[in-house]
Structure 1
Amino acid sequence: MVNLDYLRIYTTTVQSFMYQYDAIDQQLVEERVAQFRDQTRRYLNNELKEEEFLPLRLQNGLYIQRYAPMLRVAIPYGMVSSKQLRTLADISRRYDKGYGHFSTRQNLQLNWPKLEDVPDILAELAEVEMHAVQTSGNCIRNTTTDQYSGVISDEIADPRPYCELIRQWSTFHPEFAFLPRKFKIAVCATDSADRAATQVHDIGLHLKKNDAGEIGFKVIVGGGLGRTPMVGETICDFIPRTDLLTYLDAIIRVYNQQGRRDNKYKARIKILVKALGIEEFRKRVDAEWEHLRGTESTVPMSEFDRLASFFTEPAYEALEDQPAELVAKLAESNGFARWYERNTFEHKKPGYRIVTLSLKKPGQAPGDATADQMEKAANLADQYSFSELRVSHEQNLVLADVRQDQLIELWEAAKENGFATPTLGLLTDMICCPGGDYCGLANAKSIPIAEQIQESFDNLDYLYDIGEVDLNISGCMNACGHHHVGNIGVLGVDKKGEEFYQISLGGASGHDASIGKILGPSFAQEQIADVVQKIIGVYISARTEEERFIDTFRRIGMAPFKEAAYAKAN
């Protein structure tokens, strides 16, 4: 049975644009901090064995990496306030090395905290309504969604209240604390684009309306990356939103009871779905659902209304679209025009624009932000976007509500602070995991590969001519950099103790999701940028005027790219 009251939302202000704790939330988080403080003390005093401490630290987002612990801080569905971001900056400066890494799950990772300091870090996070609960371990992780939620014009409904519902339901859920493996859910609310990569999640949810105009979800199950990448399959084309939690419960119960626990590489739900087939898996879920449907976990309409009330619109003003000063600046400044074209997005309200603060400045590890940058981003949010930011799946920060008449001023500030690299969606706006520089699981470094490609493709004119290409880099088969769904994917592999890199082509993470195919034998580190140049050269030679990289690849196939990549120099 799910208690929808135990994480109740409330607000003390006239408007609230994101989740806020109530007294019960605060008590739960503070109690968890106190528990972990005592567990850490006992471990450091040799009162707990390593194997006993392992599940306890994972429940609090703490990994032991190559050189130091890594703490993953939860940012629910990517929403963070300027106050919270300043706290993250302060914590990274005092307890870490002055920076953090924003991940593809819209969370923040600290790579250098001391184990004995982690309880203090968690206590300070709790003061600003943050935590690290369920950011690791075999449980339901942070639910992710479109970074433009609530501010784009073509969404069927704002997905954030539903993400919050799932978060409340899954947090501390007693049945789902020790699943066979980690479990990830993503929500998409538009037919035009899937910026949450829902088809490569354990469960993907697509908001939709039926013929009667009722809101519900298409449910996709069995997607995932890692050692055995798979695109999910539709298990239900429409589930009414009142039945969402009972249906999710049924899916995860079947997985919890029947998923493999003897082999962690075969423990994800995708393996179970593949082994049974989608029809048999659906049959078992429906049988489980019969016992849950109509129970207390059925969500009343009043609960949806209550959740939606906490994601209200900010105090938008009636503004002119495309003001004269903006139009003039676009005509006279090529730099501003490029930034506007690539790093801003159409807003549902006239006179406003969505702005991405790029974390892909050349020479900076993709997704990393220094403490100073976090503070400056918080300042920009206060000044230009109602004190609220989002973290994107592509490891950038987003200001969702910027007035068009302030875009020029914001662009100047973004340039000063290293946020204005005008390459969103282009080759160097790559997704990249921390790799072997930090992670003990990695076979190879990721960051030097990203830097090598950034240096090789440093001509903006050339990047713009190439157009939209997703390039993703992972340091190992765990695929934290989502290399499987990059149009160009780079995977670090170990060959007799040396770092090599495998290239894949043809992956995609949107509504047309696909898993990339391996190009051929792996390459040495120093070859990667040259190989990518050759791959891009084939694309430019073969494309039609309307084609993106993925379109050309799907039309001409692997052979021309393979021939060019492995051709011997004359």
Structure 2
Amino acid sequence: MYQYDQYDHLIVRERIAQYRDQVQRRLNDELSEAEFLPLRLQNGLYNQRHAYMLRIAVPYGLLSSAQMRMFAHIARKYDRGYGHFTTRQNIQFNWIKLEESPDILADLATVEMHAIQTSGNCIRNVTSDEFAGVAADEIVDPRPYAEVLRQWSTFHPEFAALPRKFKVAINGALEDRAAIAVHDIGLTVVKNDAGDIGFKVMVGGGMGRTPILGSVIREFLPREHMLTYIEAIMRVYNLHGRRDNKYKARIKILLKAVGVEEFTRQVEAEWEDLKGTEQTLTLEEMERIIAYFQPHDYKTLPAFDAAAAHADNKAFGLWLKRNVKPHKVPGYAAVVLSLKKTGVPPGDATDAQMDFMANIADRYSFGELRVTHEQNVVLADVEQSQLFALWEEIKAQGLATPNIGLLTDIICCPGGDFCSLANAKSIPIAESIAQRFDRIDFLHDIGDFELNISGCINACGHHHVGNIGVLGVDKDGSEWYQVSIGGAQGNNSAIGKIIGPSFSAAQMPEVIDRLLQVYVRERTPEERFVDTAQRLGIAPFKEFVYATPIVAEAEEAEYA
């Protein structure tokens, strides 16, 4: 993984010193809250309902065990004993004292981490595939390119005050696991007929008030021009993006206003002036960065059938099926640690769990971990022969729930319990649904499923691309929930469609139950929920959900 050089260390130290002075001036009332607001946001500090929240950057989701231990330390010393992993592969701490925030940043700097550009109208944390470097379907490891983007975008003077926040994702595999279609810029690694590496460039994706899938503006961009072309995109957006209305300020709105063809024309024209400049990526520069991401010292191992070796252990078999993923190196596997145990807010981990994850990363996975945008954690390099021993350890820590990619693997923002922007609570809805369907055989019968919950229209829970999406809305001062179906991320991304009027919190488990009843009744063999929803449309689901009044304490349905 990337390690700071002397310039990185210097920049971060100077930023901390600058921020420490700003905090002291605020505490002394030498700065008003309005004056302090942009300064703290540049350092990832939000003022939430009950306390300050600090969002820490985890570039492209990659962590060392030392960095995970630092998160545990922060949770114990400065927070209330836990942290929340987010859909941008970051971590948030929700109970931060303003006067202690500079000390947290100083502690983070000792393990080469910071909170720079995790907020504000700038280019945010670049995200990628959590299985980058080990995925069996990978064309090229995208992490070196994500690192180049991180270095280029951090403190970029031209793009420090954009019309609105800006998000970039990069995927290097055949299967899109980075949700590139719903990012401001989504890059997919491709090879041309000559075998040259390049990128397919999508622009203008996003969720929020106006969910839109990105548009392809270039089918093949040679890899050496990645920065110059993205700079051209940013310049067009920075010049023409709206600043009079923050709800209309994202690049997707600009693209819609001027049209894809005109936007592309302007980008290409801007790019003509940038080609061949010093930001063109030389082979030497890319080799320098790629050197940080060399494969680990893998053993030569025979394939090991862990399922056959423990065929009498059904629980282990279920975990293997859902939480263990293929690895490009024979004899190894990638393991997803579930942060979705029923009774725990999705994405939350305690300080003890974070210390534990760091320890098992050292013993089982070369001291590295990955944060997923589904709010789980990955050990990417586990020997297949050690899977059973690992499973026994993580089971004792509540990290082995065999539900990855199933109904209870819920994506959920902090919602109204913490966020000052939220219209409604998210965590209690996730909990009530998880409790209703906490039956492992049932979950495996329903199969692959994405249930996403957002507490407000900002869509931090990615509800628009959930197979079932739940959005908290305010109705005359009360919390209600709007439901959509048919959304999807990945290669076949889609925006879900709202089924009808919103529901109360107490009704939500029964609403999900009724949607599942329609699916079970109408599905064809091998058809997932999203396939059935997209094939039939919302009509049969809507009809059944609203056919009779929903009683909160309704009996569980009988499923065929």
Range into which the TM-score falls when normalised by the shorter chain: over 0.9
Match of 1:234 among 216, 222, 225: 216
Q: Shift in Å at residue 195 of structure 1?
A: 1.1
Q: Retained in 1: the 8 A contact 2:135–2:328? A: yes
Q: Distance in 1 between matches of 2:155 and 2:375?
A: 27
- Given the alignment of the two structures, is residue 356 of structure 1 paired with residue 336 of structure 2, yes or no? yes
Q: Distance in 2 between matches of 1:217 and 1:328?
A: 42
- Given the alignment of the two structures, is residue 196 of structure 1 paired with residue 167 of structure 2, yes or no? no
Q: Distance in 2 between matches of 1:59 and 1:65?
A: 16
Q: Shift in Å at residue 497 of structure 1?
A: 0.9
- The aligned counterpart of 1:4 is none
Q: What SS does structure 1 have at the residue aligned with 2:299? A: coil
- Given the alignment of the two structures, is residue 305 of structure 1 paired with residue 287 of structure 2, yes or no? yes
Q: Distance in 1 between matches of 2:95 and 2:124?
A: 22
Q: What SS does structure 2 have at the residue aligned with 1:292? A: coil
- The aligned counterpart of 1:11 is none
Match of 2:188 among 181, 187, 206: 206
1:44-443 matched pairs, under 5 angstroms: 44-191=27-174, 193-323=175-305, 327-329=308-310, 331-443=311-423
Q: Shift in Å at residue 437 of structure 1?
A: 0.2
Q: Distance in 2 between matches of 1:326 and 1:549?
A: 27
Partner amino acid, structure 1, of 2:324: T
Q: Please list the CA deviations of residues 368-423 of structure 1 after superposition, one character each: whole Å capped at 9, or x if unmatched.
A: 00111100111110110011000001000000000011000000001001100000
What count of residue pairs does the alignment treat as equivalent?
550
Unmatched runs of 5 consecutive residues or more in structure 1: 1-17
Match of 1:491 among 460, 471, 488: 471
Q: Distance in 1 between matches of 2:168 and 2:291?
A: 23
Q: Distance in 2 between matches of 1:530 and 1:485?
A: 21
Partner amino acid, structure 2, of 1:38: D
User: Cα RMSD (Å) of the superposition?
Assistant: 0.9
Q: Retained in 1: the 8 A contact 2:307–2:317? A: no
Q: Distance in 1 between matches of 2:448 and 2:97?
A: 41
- The aligned counterpart of 1:12 is none
Q: Retained in 1: the 8 A contact 2:331–2:383? A: yes
Q: What SS does structure 2 have at the residue aligned with 1:555? A: helix
Q: Retained in 2: the 8 A contact 1:326–1:405? A: no
The worse-fitting range, judged by mean Cα deviation, of 528-537 and 18-27 is 18-27
Q: Retained in 2: the 8 A contact 1:89–1:371? A: yes
Q: What SS does structure 1 have at the residue aligned with 2:349? A: strand
Q: Distance in 1 between matches of 2:38 and 2:199?
A: 33
Q: Distance in 1 between matches of 2:30 and 2:421?
A: 27
Q: Shift in Å at residue 451 of structure 1?
A: 0.3
Q: Please list the CA deviations of residues 465-492 of structure 1 after superposition, one character each: whole Å capped at 9, or x if unmatched.
A: 0001100000000000000000100000
Q: What SS does structure 1 have at the residue aligned with 2:303? A: coil
Q: Distance in 1 between matches of 2:517 and 2:243?
A: 46
Q: Distance in 1 between matches of 2:39 and 2:81?
A: 26
Q: Distance in 1 between matches of 2:166 and 2:513?
A: 37
- Given the alignment of the two structures, is residue 36 of structure 1 paired with residue 19 of structure 2, yes or no? yes
Q: Distance in 2 between matches of 1:48 and 1:334?
A: 61
Q: Shift in Å at residue 152 of structure 1?
A: 1.1
Q: What SS does structure 1 have at the residue aligned with 2:273? A: helix
Q: Retained in 2: the 8 A contact 1:474–1:492? A: yes
**% same residue:** 63
Q: Shift in Å at residue 154 of structure 1?
A: 1.4
Q: Retained in 2: the 8 A contact 1:501–1:525? A: yes
Partner amino acid, structure 2, of 1:188: N
Q: Shift in Å at residue 327 of structure 1?
A: 2.0
Q: Distance in 2 between matches of 1:44 and 1:569?
A: 53
| Structure 1 residues 326 and 337, CA gap change in structure 2 (3 angstroms) | closer
Partner amino acid, structure 2, of 1:269: I
Partner amino acid, structure 1, of 2:63: V
Q: Shift in Å at residue 569 of structure 1?
A: 5.1
- The aligned counterpart of 2:530 is 550
- Given the alignment of the two structures, is residue 505 of structure 1 paired with residue 485 of structure 2, yes or no? yes
Partner amino acid, structure 2, of 1:462: F
**TM-score of the aligned structures, taking structure 2 as reference length:** 0.97
Q: Retained in 1: the 8 A contact 2:121–2:163? A: yes
Q: Retained in 2: the 8 A contact 1:326–1:404? A: no
Q: What SS does structure 2 have at the residue aligned with 1:54? A: helix
Match of 2:440 among 450, 453, 460: 460
Q: What SS does structure 1 have at the residue aligned with 2:140? A: coil
Unmatched runs of 5 consecutive residues or more in structure 2: 551-560
